[in-house]
Structure 1
Amino acid sequence: MTNDAVSSYPTSSWADWVPMRLVGRDAAEWLNGQCTQAVAAVPAAPCLETGFCDERGRVWAFGFLTVRSGEVVLALDRSRVGRFEQTVEERVILEDVRLEKLDGVVARLAPEPDPAAVLAVPAGRWWLSLSTSGAAESAVDRDAAEIALGWPGAAEFAQAPLVQELGPEFLSRAVSFSKGCYVGQEIVARVQSRGRVHRRWVALTVSKPLAAGATVLAASGREAAVLRQGRLPDDRWICSALLSIEDAVPGQIVTVKSGERVLESSIAVPGRIDLP
């Protein structure tokens, strides 16, 4: 393992999960019209996953939310916060909605939830806790964990994916098809009714870290860029890519090319991978 290989892809930090509070009598209803999740259906705990789309149905953010004591607590990656703040500024007209940052909160992935967490996200046998107590230390690399758990990030959003391109786990956990209108909902519903997209987000595990510009070569001869990578606790590496839908067959063997190195991997579904 070389430092160059490890540093070739930007790495994400758990500290970049930013919790916010939406307050006001219209907060939950307003947010319901902005995100893919049915906000009114969120239980007090734990929180749920959600996505945010633009008018073309392209996903630009992923996060977690819960409704508690008449307010909405929402967590987004730091790279998405500015756009969300702009969304609030532009789309809150007459509604009683105010956005507040929660200072001094750190994120930590651990086997047990933090009882004092403002958000506690179930993640298989793990919990992502955003809390004002404890240190922002996690046993698992953030990029590796998010690919395995099916949580898309900035690298995936840069490819402007449709909701359905993020795969079945994202659809089942972060999208409501019965909640009514939200930004991008018409496109999301139209694509769902047609039942077909051109790409699919996939995960691949390899034995070595990948250098910048790594690609995935499918049996069809089509290539796709590796989007991000992370190190798993068992010292394997996991990476993500958006493959042609014809190539994105779970279990299919593909070739991962990284500089002079050629590795083989089988396609897996993000969100259906056991995180060691």
Structure 2
Amino acid sequence: MTVAPADDVTGEYLALRTGAGVVADRFEAVWIRGADTTPFLQATLTQDMSGLAAGEITRAFLLTSKGKVRALLWVLVGANEVILLCDKGRQADVLRALVLLNVNMDVTIDAVLGPVIEVIGPTAATVVGSLGYDVQAPHRWAFSEAGHCVAAIGHIRVDLPRFVLIGPSSDVVRNSGGVFVGDLAADAVRIEAGEPQAGRDVDDATLVHEVGALDGAVSFTKGCYLGQEMVERIDARGRVNRRIVGVVVGTNVIPPHGCEVVQGSAVRGRVTSTAESLYLRAPIVLAMVRREVVDGSAVTLTWDGGSAPGTVHELPLDTFASIS
């Protein structure tokens, strides 16, 4: 793995957008195995698991009984097994919830303890192939001969290649041609792509409709699942009071996490993630705001001792069309 010079955030950022960036430890995994894997998850997750074949990748939410988001999940479907990818810090909660929900079902639920590494960017497939892994087609996954998981999960809102490797250490990917990427560059691309992160942009007070991008993650036709009543009620109502948006900041000041989003004289929301976008040549944020804040409108981000103007945008902030 190529290591960018210390503090070379620009080099790391460009690797993600024009080459291949390697990001470690943003995901954790839970492994469900057994004859009842599909019916168990059918009654647990928002996704319809019944028609999925081994090797497919989909998305889902794990909700509380009140319909609040417990975890954002990538679902790797196997033969009588499923691997759930969740944001770092959510594994224990996902594991605990699934164990409690398992009532006499033939499943084993385990935390995956090995490292989880992402390879992101236009040349990500080349890097994954150079490591000796079979490069999976988009939204497909498989185990390698070494027993490592190789998954082409992509992104929710944009066509930016992303592979997840479960098992290999960072030493294995050394000299692969990818550039090791730290949090600053990784967050910038994540925010540009409109990819919310549990524990930062989404918490246990968040509803699925507030997250958005429900297509491919929530089934409105399958049978009962945990938290379904709230999801269906909000869908029938046709709106929620909050949503996640992007804000492009109008000065060169990066606002602090948690600062207020003000419109007129009213506080309309809070900033949940912040970064500097070299592509947009501006600081950018994700924010949870009231529905009255419309796309294209001006807001002021305020905090103790400072403020900055911004413009609200629907996600994603960039389509990444320029990289293809």
TMscore range, shorter length: 0.7 to 0.9
The counterpart of 1:252, out of the listed 275, 287, 297, is 297
SS in 1 for 2:60: strand
The counterpart of 1:47, out of the listed 57, 61, 65, is 57
Provide closer, same or farther for how the CA distance between residues 203 and 212 of structure 1 changes in structure 2, counting only shifts above 3 A: closer
> 1:43-122 alignment to 2 at 5 Å?
44-45=54-55, 47-100=57-110, 101=112, 103-111=114-122, 112-113=124-125, 114=128, 115=135, 117-122=149-154
95-104 vs 20-29, greater mean Cα deviation: 95-104
Specify the alignment match of 1:158 in structure 2. Answer: 203
Query: Whole-Å Cα distance in 2 between the matches of residues 184 and 204 of structure 1?
Result: 30
Query: Whole-Å Cα distance in 2 between the matches of residues 188 and 157 of structure 1?
Result: 16
- Residues 162-220 of structure 1 show CA distances to partners (whole Å, capped at 9, x for unaligned) of 111122x2x12321111221110011001110112111111112243123542211246
Query: Whole-Å Cα distance in 2 between the matches of residues 14 and 220 of structure 1?
Result: 42
Whichever residue aligns with residue 27 of structure 1, its letter is T
Specify the alignment match of 1:239 in structure 2. Answer: 285
Specify the alignment match of 1:217 in structure 2. Answer: 262
SS in 1 for 2:225: coil
Query: Whole-Å Cα distance in 2 between the matches of residues 193 and 15 of structure 1?
Result: 38
SS in 2 for 1:174: coil
Query: Whole-Å Cα distance in 2 between the matches of residues 68 and 181 of structure 1?
Result: 22
**By how many angstroms is 1:157 displaced?**
2.7
Whichever residue aligns with residue 265 of structure 1, its letter is G
- Residues 107-166 of structure 1 show CA distances to partners (whole Å, capped at 9, x for unaligned) of 232323432653221223322322135268348833333333343221233361111112
Large movers: runs of 4+ above 6 Å: none
Provide closer, same or farther for how the CA distance between residues 159 and 199 of structure 1 changes in structure 2, counting only shifts above 3 A: farther
SS in 1 for 2:221: coil
Aligned residues: 262
Specify the alignment match of 1:192 in structure 2. Answer: 235
Specify the alignment match of 1:9 in structure 2. Answer: none
Query: Whole-Å Cα distance in 2 between the matches of residues 118 and 22 of structure 1?
Result: 17
Query: Whole-Å Cα distance in 2 between the matches of residues 104 and 59 of structure 1?
Result: 25
> 1:133-172 alignment to 2 at 5 Å?
134=173, 137-138=180-181, 141-153=185-197, 154-158=199-203, 160-167=205-212, 169=213, 171-172=214-215
Larger Rg: 2
Instruction: Compute the TM-score of the two structures, normalised by the length of structure 2.
Output: 0.71
Query: Whole-Å Cα distance in 1 between the matches of residues 317 and 60 of structure 2?
Result: 18
**By how many angstroms is 1:54 displaced?**
0.6
Contact 1:108 1:138 (C-alpha < 8 Å) held by counterparts: no
Provide closer, same or farther for how the CA distance between residues 274 and 14 of structure 1 changes in structure 2, counting only shifts above 3 A: farther
Q: Does 1:128 align with 2:174?
A: no
Greater helix fraction, Structure 1 or Structure 2? 1
Provide closer, same or farther for how the CA distance between residues 97 and 232 of structure 1 changes in structure 2, counting only shifts above 3 A: farther
